Structure 1
């Protein structure tokens, strides 16, 4: 009907807004006549669907029931409308229900569902005297943007389903829409995540997961204290503990609250670097922590290890401590994959080189550890009131030793007024840092610079304190 004044879908009910009573009363018979043959649609596909129910629709008993519905609604219409007015019902719906068998309601509703259950009846096909069509859920055909259509594809639509399956799908999505949660775990071996859009559920991820958390094999992890911090060692005995430590020490407790958030906003508590890190890595975290699939997890942890450390360093209050915890965790994970790094041995060799009378050439790890430590020694001389790791940004962005040496030279020149003539250990460290070929730095090389920055400063005079916030 015009302007959708009638809101019911069969001749057994009548729904309308109270303020539309006059229009509904005048057009009551015309409305019920629609259900006599459903001939209002000129669409060929709609007519084909109606034809499957033509015998039932034209049945004389059904036609008699429609006529009876008209009589009943006309008989009680004014009385119900007046009752609503007398009781000050405003802007409400009036709903009539004819007292008939529930099975009749189901039959009539089925005709409406047959017409509306698919995404578009344009794509319907008939197979073995059954209508098949395109699902109306998690499917979009860009009908308003035909230029987005794949012109080279053999078929326009991906698949078709039966009306029975379409109805079952609708019931499933109606149920999903009522669930106040993102991940749905009500089905054995099925992982599903969803969000609601315009009050309708949209499945964003769906996968068969034969492993559950209870039978997932988790190898215990011992976090070693590589960075000399209080209570640095810790044993991770369960999957839940590992999940917690990853969130706390790599994501600063920002991971699981943003695992499915597509609009992560930068704020005082969440930096732009953390935002980027979450977007880049969370898929692998979902695969591991939600689906128990470790294929990508360790690769991603190592690939973004330096970013995790840099993000931890940004915290003005706890930057150094957070970074040390991140390094302890990352190096411990690396050890489980057979890659061992002995920070104490590297540090001792650098100290030995600093006290040696000769200018020796340090190997890779020793050199990059020294550069990181020296960088911190120099930026400590900044006269800024608040000294944080932001002062080292130029070092953390360097991708080759030539750039590192240039930055060191620049800082040495910048702070030379504060470098005492007798500060031999600082001058020795600078000479050792300049004694290196021009090399492209690997991810591990850059990580060792970060480790050198966060480690206790070994390039300082006796009794001198670190000034960067711990």
Structure 2
């Protein structure tokens, strides 16, 4: 899977080279200083943390990106400074945390050791034999180091590093201080490769020499050391998971450098395909198509996150993924007065998947949906929190990969519980909107079947007709549970409390069988029958039908909820009453 993505990246990299990475490179927070060849500070750039794309038009930004990219460490375990205080990798740069200057952690001895190591790399890489061979190969490629320039840069650091706050008003905070010595691009690239090539493998002890070529374990997204013996294949002659050549491991390093750039600007959703190349999107974005004629995507998907390195949280092959919808329609099957409130859902035909995603996040999860990590502590509802954790993987599969299999089986139950929770919390408008959105999603997922509202509307109409007569009976379980919802809403509406709440319906929503339902309705009837005036005759008729019916099947929660959320028939006057 990663190999497939790597092949697509390789085509782009061969076309553009390191520019493909540098064009999206993001500088970390800190103070960046460029020292010219005369030893004078030419430019100081202060970089603060920002969201999204940085302003690349700032003078010197792209130049600092290039120098920084070739001067950074692969990881702290591969530091050129044994004390791990200096974090750069070559003599053209000097990276240190300002805290190390403030607390005295950086000393002249550490600086001397750093430059001694850079000037005597043959000592650092003399053992084991795999490291020595890597260094010798690097030496053939990069040539000898410029010892004179190294000494000059070392002397500049010794002379100025501890007084920069006084001589050049450099603020000493907790950010990085990164110093670069002016040189051309090729020299920075050469010195970067002098470091990268011998250190790019996970650990030299796992390297294998075959036909004078070295194969080893890549460092990216793989750790292998004495503390992780379970990663080794003990039954094989070679215990390591897999080996790659030096060419492959360098390409993989470039690939993960590219991924780090993407995640730094917030592009955590990446799509790879032969036709589209590589496209990155923000966490709440769904993919768009460059070619308006092509509205389906087939390729690979990566979800990445930023940690100590790029973390691949999810990876999957995708077939015929669409972000345009056909046949998704939200019907206004329950009336809501929007004269004083704002609509929470869109009605009519919805053609974009991102609109459905936004409505799901807003109506069902109060905008607390997170697909990775824990929901915010600001979310107080345990029902919503539990629903997020249960359903987020299924929603993620649908919204970001086009796979509806998981959400198809899970959504009806999850959404029903969320509607019940809204009713309990007295959020009736939200509950009604949830019902109509739920109806549309279920209809879309189970194409060809009538929506719940389509099935229940004729039943509600028949109930209304029966209320006009003297004697009537219920004819189906669906009709019965719809009537139960209507009776329950009417009885609870008679509550005279100054602050009315639908929390009183909790016992009914939690009922497990018909015996419980009838018992709850009787208690409500006894409690409020003193005030049954408006629609009294119609109520007696409806309540008698409910009491006289024994359902044959299981409790139909959907029909009950529909009856509770719909306009109440007992508040509609009959023709004779109007006369």
Relative to the length of structure 2, the TM-score reads 0.62
Cα distance in structure 2, aligned partners of 1:360 and 1:168: 74
Once the two structures are TM-superposed, the CA of residue 187 in structure 1 deviates from its matched residue by: 1.4
* 3-state SS of 1:131 partner: strand
- Over 3 Å counting, the alpha-carbon distance change for 1:131 and 1:431 in structure 2 is farther
Moved more, 450-459 or 131-140: 131-140
Aligned CA-pair RMSD: 4.6
2:476 to 360, 363, 366: 363
- Aligned with 1:284 (options 394, 401, 413): 394
Show the counterpart of 2:383.
273
Question: Counterpart in 1 of 2:485?
Answer: 372
Distance 1:398 1:206, change over 3 A: same
Q: Is the 8 A contact 2:513 2:554 kept in 1?
A: yes
Structure 1 residue 136 corresponds to structure 2 residue 199: no
- 1:401-459 deviations in whole A, cap 9, x for unaligned? 23222322332333344457x945434433432334476636xx110000010112224
1:9 pairs, out of 77, 89, 93, with: 89
Q: What is the CA-CA distance between 1:365 and the residue it aligns to? A: 0.7
Q: 1:253 to 1:164 in 2, by over 3 A?
A: same
Q: 1:262 aligns with which of 373, 377, 382?
A: 373
> Partner of 1:467 in structure 2?
none
Structure label with greater radius of gyration = 1
Distance 2:265 2:346 in 1: 41
Within 1, Cα distance between the matches of 2:426 and 2:240? 51
Deviations 1:239-296 (A, max 9, x none): 22x642564378428587735453323647x743333333333333333333333444
1:225 and 1:87 map into 2 onto residues whose CA distance is 67
Q: Distance in 1 between matches of 2:520 and 2:400?
A: 44
Aligned to 1:187: 278
Which residue does the alignment assign to 2:120? Answer: 36
Q: Which residue of structure 1 aligns with residue 257 of structure 2? A: 171
**Unmatched segments (≥5 aa) in structure 2:** 1-80, 272-276, 280-298, 339-344, 575-579
Q: Which residue of 1 aligns with 2:333?
A: 226
- In structure 2, the residue matched to 1:239 is 351
From the superposition, tell whether residues 449 and 8 of structure 1 become closer, same or farther in structure 2 (CA, over 3 Å). Answer: closer
The residue correspondences of 1:316-355 to structure 2 (distance < 5 A) are 316=427, 318-319=429-430, 321-323=432-434, 325-326=436-437, 329=440, 333=444, 336-339=447-450, 341-354=454-467
Pair 229,194 (structure 1): closer, same or farther in 2 beyond 3 Å = same
Distance 1:395 1:58, change over 3 A: same
Flag the 1:230–1:298 CA change in 2: closer, same or farther, 3 A.
farther
Equivalents in 1 of 2:444, 2:177: separation in Å? 63
Q: What are the residue-to-residue correspondences of 1:101-116 with 2, within 5 Å? A: 106-116=189-199
Paired position in structure 2 for 1:293:
403
Instruction: Write the distance in 2 (CA, Å) between the matches of 1:29 and 1:213.
Output: 57
Matched-pair contact (CA < 8 Å) for 2:416–2:558: yes
Match of 1:441 in 2: 554
In structure 2, the partner of 1:205 is 314
Aligned-residue offset at 1:113: 1.9
Say whether residues 1:412 and 2:525 are aligned partners: yes
Contact (CA 8 Å) 1:259, 1:286: kept in 2 or not? no
8 Å CA contact 1:7, 1:15 repeated in 2: yes
Conserved in 2, the CA contact under 8 Å of 1:32 and 1:70?
Answer: no
Report deviation, 1:57: 5.3
What is the rounded CA distance, in whole Å, between the counterparts of 2:572 and 2:566 in structure 1? Answer: 16
The 1-side partners of 2:401 and 2:540 are apart by: 54
Look up the SS of the partner of 2:402 in the other structure. Answer: coil
Secondary structure of the 1:441 match is coil
Residue deviations 1:112-132, cap 9 Å, x none? 324443444554444454433
Equivalent in the alignment of 2:499? 386
Compared CA separation, residues 172 and 265, structure 1 to 2 (3 A): same
Unaligned segments of structure 1, at least 5 residues? 464-470
Q: TM-score, normalised by structure 1?
A: 0.74
Are the structure 2 counterparts of residues 89 and 363 from structure 1 closer, same or farther at C-alpha, using a change threshold of 3 Å? closer
Would the aligned equivalents of 2:305 and 2:312 in 1 still touch at CA under 8 Å?
yes
**What displacement does 1:363 show?**
1.0
